[in-house]
């Protein structure tokens, strides 16, 4: 969960990731914010246009679905055309279970449940020019641009590739986009593991990287778990009668759930199992030995 970037910050993030950007006139203030909430945002949603004259369609929409239909359109040459900014008519209503999974960065998301949540408020929407008939190709430069723009937003927000979803994963009503979202998320994750194009060498990170949700099984013993508990206590989220200590247990789960609730997660997204986004915000100092300790 995050406050949406500003338009300027979005452009900076796209450039830093090596995206070819074309800014169309008025895009920064072209949105549907007068029709409902914009943010907090939880991820990036990808679509295909399923039609021709995509630029005009995405900017203006139709009589029944007014534009903008997305923040940006990725054309076949790999250019990201910025057409709107803010709430756009791209996602419509979708699955609460999928939103919870994306928020907690559990991947792949579950099959979509009934339409229940306003996705236009919760996702950055991007359209990808394609007829969507299963025969129209997605050229390599176009998929590379999708990877880069998704990584740009994930990097800016401290998200992983699990925060990127396809429209068809959001609602049973849709089939777009017609490429593998699992593969696209893997591409985004590999890009995130490297530095953005053109960036200078990174400083040595001062905080422990996310060891993965699977690390946190009951009975796991690690110096890192003590460090997590100490941070939770420092944040006022400690729920320990004794400790914290090196063995992952019930009190750690309760404490971590308190931290997730502090960040605004609810329900299944505040289950006490660390996810990448909440982990990155906890900023656990280096133990020197990491998860292997
Ligand atoms: Zn769509």
Please give the share of the chain, as a percent, with pLDDT higher than 70: 95
Render pLDDT for 223-260 as a digit per residue (tens, 0 to 9): 999 999 999 999 999 999 988 999 999 999 999 999 99
Q: For residue 270, report the distance from its CA to the centre of ligand 1, in Å.
A: 29
Q: For CA atoms 70, 189, 75, 180, give the dihedral sign.
A: negative
Mean pLDDT, to the nearest integer, of 13-23?
A: 95
- The answer to whether 150 touches 44, Cβ cutoff 8 Å, is yes
Alpha-carbon gap, residue 105 to 147, rounded angstroms? 17
Out of 48-57, 96-105, 197-206, least confident range:
197-206
Q: DSSP labels for 223-287?
A: HHHHHHHHHHHHTT----SS---SB--HHHHHHHHHHHHHTT--GGGGSS---HHHHHHH-PBP-
Confidence of residue 52 (pLDDT cuts 50, 70, 90): confident
Question: 264: phi > 0 → left, psi -120 to 50 → alpha, else beta; which?
Answer: left
Q: How far is Cα of residue 207 from the mean position of the Cα atoms in its chain? A: 21
- The answer to whether 177 touches 46, Cβ cutoff 8 Å, is yes
The confidence score (pLDDT) of residue 198 equals 53
Q: How far is Cα of residue 120 from the mean position of the Cα atoms in its chain? A: 14
Among 237, 266, 242, smallest CA distance to 253 is for: 237
Render pLDDT for 1-12 as a digit per residue (tens, 0 to 9): 699 999 999 999
- Which tokens sit at 219? 């009975």
The confidence score (pLDDT) of residue 288 equals 65
Alpha-carbon gap, residue 144 to 147, rounded angstroms? 5
- The answer to whether 239 touches 253, Cβ cutoff 8 Å, is no
pTM flag (> 0.85): no
> Is residue 97 pLDDT above 50, yes or no?
yes
The confidence score (pLDDT) of residue 197 equals 62
Please give the share of the chain, as a percent, with pLDDT higher than 90: 89
Q: For residue 70, report the distance from its CA to the centre of ligand 1, in Å.
A: 9
> Is residue 116 pLDDT above 90, yes or no?
yes
Q: For residue 49, report the distance from its CA to the centre of ligand 1, in Å.
A: 7
Residues near ion ligand 1 (CB < 5 Å) are 47, 167, 176
Q: For residue 190, report the distance from its CA to the centre of ligand 1, in Å.
A: 25
Q: For residue 249, report the distance from its CA to the centre of ligand 1, in Å.
A: 42
Among 269, 279, 276, smallest CA distance to 232 is for: 279
């Amino acid at each position: 969960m995050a406050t949406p970037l500003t338009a300027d910050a979005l452009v900076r993030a796209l450039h830093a990731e090596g995206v070819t950007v074309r800014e169309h006139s008025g895009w920064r203030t072209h949105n549907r914010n007068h029709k409902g909430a914009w943010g907090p945002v939880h991820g990036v949603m990808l679509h295909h246009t399923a039609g021709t004259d995509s630029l005009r369609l995405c900017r203006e929409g139709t009589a029944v679905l007014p534009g903008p239909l997305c923040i940006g359109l990725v054309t076949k040459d790999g250019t990201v055309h910025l057409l709107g900014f803010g709430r756009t008519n791209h996602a419509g209503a979708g699955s609460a279970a999928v939103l919870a999974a994306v928020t907690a960065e559990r991947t792949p998301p579950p099959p979509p449940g009934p339409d229940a949540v306003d996705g236009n408020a919760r996702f950055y929407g991007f359209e990808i020019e394609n007829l969507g008939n299963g025969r129209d190709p997605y050229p390599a430069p176009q998929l590379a641009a999708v990877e880069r723009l998704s990584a740009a937003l994930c990097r800016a927000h401290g998200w992983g590739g699990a925060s990127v979803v396809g429209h068809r994963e959001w609602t049973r009503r849709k089939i777009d986009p017609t490429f593998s979202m699992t593969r696209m998320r893997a591409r985004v994750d590999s890009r995130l593991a490297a530095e953005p194009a053109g960036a200078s060498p990174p400083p040595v990170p001062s905080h422990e990287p996310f060891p993965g949700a699977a690390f946190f099984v009951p009975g796991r013993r690690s110096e890192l778990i003590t460090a997590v508990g100490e941070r939770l206590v420092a944040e006022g989220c400690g729920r320990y009668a004794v400790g914290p200590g090196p063995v992952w247990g019930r009190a750690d789960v309760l404490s971590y759930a308190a931290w997730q609730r502090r960040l605004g997660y609810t329900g299944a997204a505040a289950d006490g199992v660390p996810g990448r986004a909440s982990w990155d915000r906890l900023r656990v100092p280096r133990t020197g030995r990491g998860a292997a300790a």
